[in-house]
Amino acid sequence: MDPVKVIEIKKSIFEDNEVDADNLRKELKTKGVFLLNLMSSPGSGKTTTLIQTINLLKEKLHIAVMEADIDSNVDAVKIKEATGIPSIQLHTGGMCHLDAEMTRQGLDNVDLEGLDLVILENVGNLVCPAEFDTGSCKNAMILSVPEGHDKPLKYPLMFSICDVVVINKMDVLPYFDFDLEKCKEYVHMRNPKAKVIPICAKTGEGVENFAGWLLQEVKNWKN
């Protein structure tokens, strides 16, 4: 007799999460709530972009924000102070991303009644958040000018799953070797359907284009 018995499993570790994510999306569709998953590397300006976007949309939509970080609640406090909309902080307990189950736990703490849009600010990271479907309706990511135009080549998965790529910090373009046209070309190599929107979150320039895209997507989702 062999010392060990082998049981074949042959299962991707992402499989269960994908099922959870699809179920969550279906529930959100029934409730008419649109969930946006916003990703980027740390320091790209996610929170500032969100504040500007929310201030453009808060008269038109009922919005809530879930901030995911490994620790601290600075982002949730900042959003609440700057926009007045409800914002909760999720702690991932050391994990570098959110999955569908964690997203659901977060949503359980948000009053979804009458809400149109929930924005999930994922952990700042270009690797793991791309691997785990959160159950969001659309994915957006922010790439900031100082990070360089070659990021789509280095983190292909992230760019291939995003519906929108926001290029932030356009105001500092003269000081960096960032080539916007090259960047668009690299994004489209990974994902021909991705929309690229250049903005400057600090001054608000271009943010109306991102807000306009989001408003349209929320309307489409509710139909």
- Give the C-alpha separation, 91 to 151, whole Å: 27
Out of 56, 110, 112, 153, point to the residue binding other proteins (CB under 8 A): 153
Q: Which of residues 158-187 bind other proteins (CB under 8 A)?
A: none
The alpha-carbon radius of gyration of the chain (Å, integer) is 18
Closest CA to 21 of 104, 115, 88, 78: 104
94 binds other proteins (CB under 8 A): yes
7 binds other proteins (CB under 8 A): yes
Out of 20, 50, 67, 97, point to the residue binding other proteins (CB under 8 A): 97
Write the CA distances from 205 to 83, 164, 198, 201, integer angstroms. 18, 17, 9, 7
- Give the C-alpha separation, 157 to 162, whole Å: 9
Q: Do residues 132 and 99 make contact, with C-beta atoms less than 8 angstroms apart? A: yes
What is the CB-side half-sphere exposure of residue 185 using CA atoms within 13 A? 7
Instruction: Find the shortest distance in angstroms from Cβ 12 to other proteins.
Output: 5
Given the rule CB under 8 A, which of 5-13, 82-90, 133-141, 196-204 is the region that contacts other proteins? 5-13
Given the rule CB under 8 A, which of 76-84, 95-103, 135-143, 208-216 is the region that contacts other proteins? 95-103
193 binds other proteins (CB under 8 A): no
Binding site for other proteins (CB under 8 A): 1-14, 16-17, 94-97, 127-128, 131, 153, 157, 189
